[in-house]
């Protein structure tokens, strides 16, 4: 296989990806490749990744538990810190139990691997995260996708199904920032032989979880919570079922127990609500200012604010122009988003100032 040819083709199509080196802590001000930038390219929505209280909790966790867990959860790797975090997450989400995973991708693969043989069909939103699509393929069921956030499209496909199945949706969609119609989905699954599964990677910690009874809820801890890992929440029997059947859970070393100690402190700050209030105020300010400038921002009320460019080369050029002016904003291209919807993906954090937001939007307006 000629890998060099493939790489050249990616570059010619403006689809080549390259890594930039961060030389500072994750924050609203960041140093990338030696350049100081205002960071609008981070999923640290509540600005907790560099929070002093969480860093202190992590240090105490290292003192108490060491750095690595040393083993999988089913051997000697499941510490008191892991168990306490699972209990805290169950309380926060209002579910009977939770189960920790090393990452959201692993958690989604873990859910589907456990359900292999238990489902006859799966219906997924057209814009679900790649990990949900890959997980679906893992269990060897045909990938059926309904139109994005379209309840009528879902109902039409649902009417053709028989046997046990699952409806799967992102809660906040990672590239568009809009939110699933969970209340409508709750009504659909209420009286049917159907499970609802939510991937709330981009909503957890910001919006209150809306979890129907006997459904599956997955969320990540490396975004709004500012640490790392993920968890699955559900009833007692389902979590115990995952422990017995989920291959990524069974065969993966547990995350650092010190991370669990830090995440418990993150939950305390999330429950206090101050950072959410600051983020939601920034979202309102951002949207009002884009409207005043006439910028065509998509209809999102989450921390993810996409500006559709529609051309990969142009999106890259604008992103680079912003970088040179001191702003870090990602250009998103296929296959992450469909061709023709290339975009700038602006992510807002709680600690952004209104001045920083104004400066960014003025530069985007000029670049367009």
Active site amino acids: 174, 202, 223
Q: In 3-state terms, what secondary structure has residue 86?
A: helix
Full DSSP string of 107-149: HHHHHHHHHTTT-SEEEEETT--HHHHHHHHHTT---EEEPTT
At 98, phi and psi to the nearest 5? -135, 165
DSSP 74: I
Query: What stretches of the chain show up as alpha helix (H) in DSSP?
Result: 3-12, 52-65, 80-93, 104-115, 130-138, 151-158, 182-190, 236-245, 247-250, 257-272, 274-293, 312-324, 354-367
- The secondary structure of residue 216, as a DSSP letter, is E
- Specify the 3-state DSSP secondary structure of 49: coil
Q: How far is CA 293 from CA 286, 343, 362, in A?
A: 11, 18, 8
What pairing do the DSSP bridges indicate for beta strands 194-199 and 330-332? unpaired
Report in angstroms the alpha-carbon separations of 253 from 84, 98, 106, 180, 186: 18, 17, 12, 33, 35
Burial class of residue 162 in the structure, from the number of CB atoms within 10 Å of its CB (0-12 exposed, 13-18 middle, 19+ buried): exposed
């Amino acid at each position: 296989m000629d890998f060099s040819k493939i790489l050249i083709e990616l570059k010619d199509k403006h689809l080549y990806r390259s890594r930039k080196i961060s030389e500072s802590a994750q924050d609203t001000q960041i140093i990338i490749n030696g350049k100081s930038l205002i960071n609008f390219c981070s999923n640290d929505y509540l600005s907790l990744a560099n929070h002093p209280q969480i860093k202190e909790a992590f240090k105490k966790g290292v003192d108490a538990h060491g750095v690595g867990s040393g083993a999988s959860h089913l051997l000697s790797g499941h510490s008191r810190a892991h168990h306490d975090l699972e209990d805290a997450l169950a309380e926060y989400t209002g579910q009977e139990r939770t189960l920790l995973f090393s990452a959201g991708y692993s958690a989604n693969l873990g859910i589907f691997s456990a359900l292999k043989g238990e489902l006859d069909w799966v219906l997924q939103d057209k814009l679900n995260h790649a990990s949900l699509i890959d997980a679906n393929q893992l269990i060897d069921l045909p990938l059926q996708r309904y139109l994005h956030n379209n309840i009528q499209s879902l109902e039409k496909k649902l009417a053709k199904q028989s046997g046990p199945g699952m409806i799967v949706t992102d809660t906040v969609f990672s590239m568009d920032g809009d939110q699933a119609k969970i209340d409508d989905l709750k009504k659909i699954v209420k009286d049917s032989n159907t499970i609802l599964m939510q991937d709330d990677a981009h909503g957890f910690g910001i919006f209150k979880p809306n979890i129907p009874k006997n459904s599956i809820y997955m969320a990540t801890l490396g975004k709004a919570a500012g640490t790392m890992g993920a968890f699955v929440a559900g009833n007692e029997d389902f979590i115990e079922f995952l422990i017995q059947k989920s291959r990524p859970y069974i065969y993966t070393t547990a995350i650092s127990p010190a991370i669990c100690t830090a995440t418990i402190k993150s939950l305390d700050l999330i429950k206090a609500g101050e950072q959410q209030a600051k983020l939601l105020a920034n979202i309102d300010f951002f949207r009002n200012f884009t409207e005043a400038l006439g910028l065509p921002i998509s209809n999102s009320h989450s921390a993810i604010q996409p500006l559709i460019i529609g051309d990969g080369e142009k999106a890259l050029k604008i992103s680079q122009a912003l970088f040179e002016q001191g702003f870090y904003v990602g250009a998103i291209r296929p296959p992450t988003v469909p061709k023709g919807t290339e975009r700038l993906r602006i992510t807002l954090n709680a600690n952004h100032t209104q001045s920083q937001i104004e400066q960014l939007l003025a530069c985007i307006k000029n670049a367009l």
